[in-house]
Amino acid sequence: MTLAKASCEFEHEYDQRSKRASIKSFEIEDESYLYAYTPFIRLKNSEDILLIISGRGFSFVVLVLMFVFFYVALQLAKKGKAPQIRRITAMDAIDEAVGRATEEGRPVHFTSGYAYATLSSEQGPQVLASIGILSHVAALCARFDVPIIYNTCIADSLPLVEETLRAAYRNEGKPESYDPKSIRYQPEQSPYVAAVLATLQRERPAVNMMIGGLYYESVVMGEAGNMIGATQIGGTANIHQMPFIIATCDYAMIGEEIFAASAYVTKDPLVTSGIAAGDWTKGLLILLTILGAVMELSGIPVISQLLKW
Amino acid sequence: MAEVDRRVLYWGIFLVLVVPYLQPLGLPITVQETTKTLYDKIETMGPKNIALFSIAGGVSAWAEIQPSMVAVMRHLVRREVKVVIWGFFTDQDLTVDMVVVSVPELTTKYKYGEDWVYMGYLAGGETAVAQLASDVHAVFKADKYGTPIEKLSLMQRVKSAKDIDLVLTIDTGSYIGYYIRHWNVGKGTPVAEIGIAMQTEWLPYYPANLMAILIGVRGGAEYEKLIGRLGDGTVRMDAISVSHLVVIIVIILANLGYVMTRREKK
Amino acid sequence: MSNILRKREMILFITGLAGGMMMFEYFFAVPAVATASTIVRNWAIIISTLALGLGILNAVRLHSGHIRKRTKSQWIFSVWLLGYFVVLTVIGLWNTKFIVYDWSFKYVYTSLSSTFYALTGFYIFSAAYRAFRARSIEATILIVSGVLILLRNAPIGEAIWKGFPILGEWVLMVGQLGGMRTLTFVAAVGLIVFGIRTLLGLERGYYGGVE
């Protein structure tokens, strides 16, 4: 799709007899224009022409709509008409779990999962959401003087986690209680799993929270937590681990609940309004799905063509 | 029956798993369509084609993915397909060494630099995969052994995703999603996965974006049957059969115990 | 200077700029933005690699603390870890083909990694035994579906009855596919919403709530 006209160059053959030209080939000068498998026309004498890459037009429209929904939800929240969101049981259970840890005098264990040991992946947002939840957990732990242990194998999240914990203790007026050694790093997945198992066996935390980009460690850590009788709160958007989280944890957050959770704990209507915007988007996409299925079965492929735009 | 000590369960499954290794059962294996499509695709490939072997799984997953990796590499070598290898796991050198030892034709029949190359490790996850789709030479300046990319004749043919005829991602997680997004949807390159048993989450993408998927040990056993050279995958399938049966029996027993306990309480 | 960089507005500005650039580059074919995005992505790769150094510092600090305090049941393992770390680092920097280095990775690390991965099987077994109870109709359907897929995967299922693979295949390729797509779909929307919240500065958790 072009938003402006562009000239193009192409080789052509001119047949003297029929006085007709036929295009022989396109000349593509810069292959960085080629993002999709539909051919592009080389731009000549163009100035700041914006071209939406073929196949991504519909996604762009949906993204713009999401921003619009966000704006509407924010405005509603500012006027005091914030959309209501349902309770996330697992997040409500965190307060109770930390209370239990306080009574028993045992630490709280928190981990964000393997997440490919980097923030630069699709697991990255899950880790960031996990760190958002960690800030709430850390605040509670600071308030009730409960030790917190954070195991990780994601090196690039270490500065974020350190700052989160430090800020939590600072905000609770106990900056001296922050212990940098509560953050434990191990490279790679297997050493990380070994370290978490060791932590659970030796230090026997009262609460084990596994929230983030979990992989096979979810079932191992979950069962190990069960063996020591810890209250377990788990959450991940990784579909392949959801059954294990649900089977091993007392409270589970699945799918987008972990992304909503960090907004949920703030209880700030401006922040939680974003969750409603996401729900409105889902509603729209569900409507399109149903409409598309009905139209496709009726032999009208309008929606499916729209998706390829 | 409802509450048996974990240690009894663990010893029980361990002992049960030992039996098929000592006395193979030799149960027949049916080839699934998701495996056959990869075999058919490689059968259409030849010396002019280039396949990418992307290692996105660690040595810990060898038990599941090794049979598939070795079987597929044997097939590629038999068809004389050129192979480019790179990966995203720090222990991938061990995986490449294992494949080279298991498929000696890579060193005896193939010539390094012309028929196959190992480009080495790359950090960066999806960012790296996206970059490679656009420009391989901007990302890799030399191969694993320090040879400049300009001196590798095979890599002169590989500039971006368009130059690869088949992507095989050896995956234990989400890298298949990166290849689908940036290589298949973005550039139209066929993508297949050699994955662990948990990779069934990518089945929704089959066959539109994911042309084939070899799931776990079973995928390896099926591929070994297709190439006519049985190996570790076939051996392990007997253990899989026995363990699955034991799990089913234990679940049934646990539920019987649960029902009986409930009746007693009533 | 560090006070300016630590301010919330600066953090949000950098996040918004980088995120906005990536989004723009994904949708629009503007070579200048594509080039800038490529450079920023390369920076991300470099930062990921550099972060490994941070991790090493954390591990060294933690374990040397254990050794200093003679933490019960821990300090001897910390000695072993740090000692092995130093030895392998020195040897690795000198010659990665040296027998100790090579042997450590091939026969120690590989075996231990595989062992931990194999633990999953045992733990899944005990989790299934403990959790798969037919407490409700939904739980019963879940158990039956799981059993069918187990029998579809294992050749013994077909040996027992030829119908098991067919039923299992149906459950895998039809029955659960809709649910799987839904979860993927929903998680993706939630992820995008989280991303938009981050770009708009509404998500405070990840930078520690710096003011």
Mean pLDDT (chain B, rounded): 90
User: Could you write out the DSSP letters of every residue in C97-114?
Assistant: TSHHHHHIIIIIIHHHHH
End-to-end CA distance of chain B: 18
C17 and C46, same domain (yes or no): yes
Amino acid letter, A103: E
Strands A10-15, A20-26: pairing kind: antiparallel
B129 and B215, same domain (yes or no): yes
CA dihedral B2, B6, B12, B15 (to 10 degrees): 170
Residue B186 lies in domain: 31-230
C22 and C56, same domain (yes or no): yes
Instruction: Decide if B60 and A189 are in contact by the 8 Å CB cutoff.
Output: yes
* Range 1-60 of A in CB contact (< 8 A) with C: 30, 32-33, 35, 40, 48, 50-53, 56, 59-60
Question: Mean per-residue pLDDT for A241-245?
Answer: 90
Q: In this predicted structure, what is the pLDDT of residue C69?
A: 93
No. of helices (H) and no. of strands (E), chain C: 10, 0
C13 and C63, same domain (yes or no): yes
Whether the CB of C26 is below 8 Å from some CB of chain A: the reply is yes
Question: Mean per-residue pLDDT for A265-270?
Answer: 77
> Is the pLDDT score of A3 beyond 60?
no
B108 and B169, same domain (yes or no): yes
User: Whole-prediction pTM value?
Assistant: 0.83
The CATH number for B196's domain is 3.40.50.10160
Q: In this predicted structure, what is the pLDDT of residue A205?
A: 97
Chain A nearest C-alpha distance from B226 (Å): 28
B168 and B238, same domain (yes or no): no
The answer to whether C121 touches B5, Cβ cutoff 8 Å, is no
Query: How crowded is residue A220: how many other Cβ atoms within 10 Å of its Cβ?
Result: 25
Amino acid letter, A30: D
Distances (CA, A) of A192 to A152, A215, B107, B253: 7, 12, 36, 35
Instruction: Decide if B201 and A240 are in contact by the 8 Å CB cutoff.
Output: yes
State pLDDT tens for residues B78-89.
Answer: 999 999 999 998
Residue C8 lies in domain: 1-94
Instruction: Decide if C132 and B27 are in contact by the 8 Å CB cutoff.
Output: no
C110 and C65, same domain (yes or no): no
Q: In terms of C-beta distances under 8 Å and separation of at least 24 residues, what long-range contacts does B149-156 make, across chains too?
A: B151/B113, B152/B113, B152/B117, B153/B113, B153/B114, B154/B50, B154/B82, B154/B84, B154/B113, B154/B114, B154/B115, B154/B116, B154/B117, B155/B84, B155/B117, B155/B119
State pLDDT tens for residues B45-69.
Answer: 999 999 999 999 888 889 899 999 9
The answer to whether A97 touches A205, Cβ cutoff 8 Å, is no
Whether the CB of C191 is below 8 Å from some CB of chain A: the reply is yes
> Is the pLDDT score of C95 beyond 90?
no
**Phi (first) and psi of residue A237, to 5 degrees:** -100, 0
> Is the pLDDT score of A12 beyond 60?
no
Chain B nearest C-alpha distance from C124 (Å): 10
All domains in chain A, ordered by first residue: 1-53 (no CATH), 57-82+273-307 (no CATH), 89-266 (3.40.50)
C11 and C54, same domain (yes or no): yes
Q: What burial class does residue C136 get, using C-beta atoms within 10 Å of its C-beta: 0-12 exposed, 13-18 middle, 19+ buried? A: exposed
Instruction: Decide if A121 and B91 are in contact by the 8 Å CB cutoff.
Output: no
Question: How many structural domains comprise chain C?
Answer: 2
Over its C-alpha atoms, chain A yields an Rg (Å, rounded) of: 26
Question: How many structural domains comprise chain B?
Answer: 2
Instruction: Decide if C73 and A202 are in contact by the 8 Å CB cutoff.
Output: yes
Q: In this predicted structure, what is the pLDDT of residue A13?
A: 47
- Choose the closest CB to C45 out of B128, B241, B242: B128
- Choose the closest CB to C150 out of B61, B248, B259: B248
C37 and C106, same domain (yes or no): no
Q: In this predicted structure, what is the pLDDT of residue A10?
A: 43
Test mutation, B126, B134, B209, chain A, max A CBs within 10 A: B126
In the listed set C83, C104, C131, which residue is the last one of a domain according to the structure? C131
In the listed set C107, C131, C155, which residue is the last one of a domain according to the structure? C131
C80 and C35, same domain (yes or no): yes
B37 and B138, same domain (yes or no): yes
Q: Which subunits have 3 or more CB–CB pairs within 8 Å of chain C?
A: A, B
> Is the pLDDT score of A43 beyond 50?
no
B197 and B256, same domain (yes or no): no
Whether the CB of C207 is below 8 Å from some CB of chain A: the reply is yes
Mean pLDDT (chain A, rounded): 82
B188 and B249, same domain (yes or no): no
B110 and B146, same domain (yes or no): yes
Say if C40 falls within a structural domain. Answer: yes
Say if C1 falls within a structural domain. Answer: yes
B255 and B146, same domain (yes or no): no
Closest residue in A to C34 (Cα–Cα) = A32
Quick one: what percent of chain C has pLDDT higher than 70?
Answer: 94
Question: Mean per-residue pLDDT for C179-190?
Answer: 85
No. of helices (H) and no. of strands (E), chain B: 12, 6
d(CA A74, CA A57): 26
Per DSSP, B135 falls in state -
d(CA A149, CA A146): 10
User: Could you write out the DSSP letters of every residue in B93-105?
Assistant: HHHHHHHHHH-TH
B22 and B115, same domain (yes or no): no
**β-strand partners of B112:** B116
State pLDDT tens for residues A185-215.
Answer: 998 888 999 999 999 999 999 999 999 999 9
C51 and C108, same domain (yes or no): no
Q: Residue A11's pLDDT band (boundaries 50, 70, 90)?
A: very low
Closest residue in C to B200 (Cα–Cα) = C172
- Choose the closest CB to A262 out of C185, C189, C203: C203
State pLDDT tens for residues B150-196.
Answer: 999 999 999 999 999 999 999 888 899 999 988 998 788 999 999 98
B263 and B252, same domain (yes or no): yes
Which residues in chain C are contacts of B241 at CB distance < 8 A? 154-157, 159
3-state secondary structure of B244: helix
Instruction: Count how many Cα atoms sit within 13 Å of the Cα of residue B69 in the half-sphere of its side chain.
Output: 31
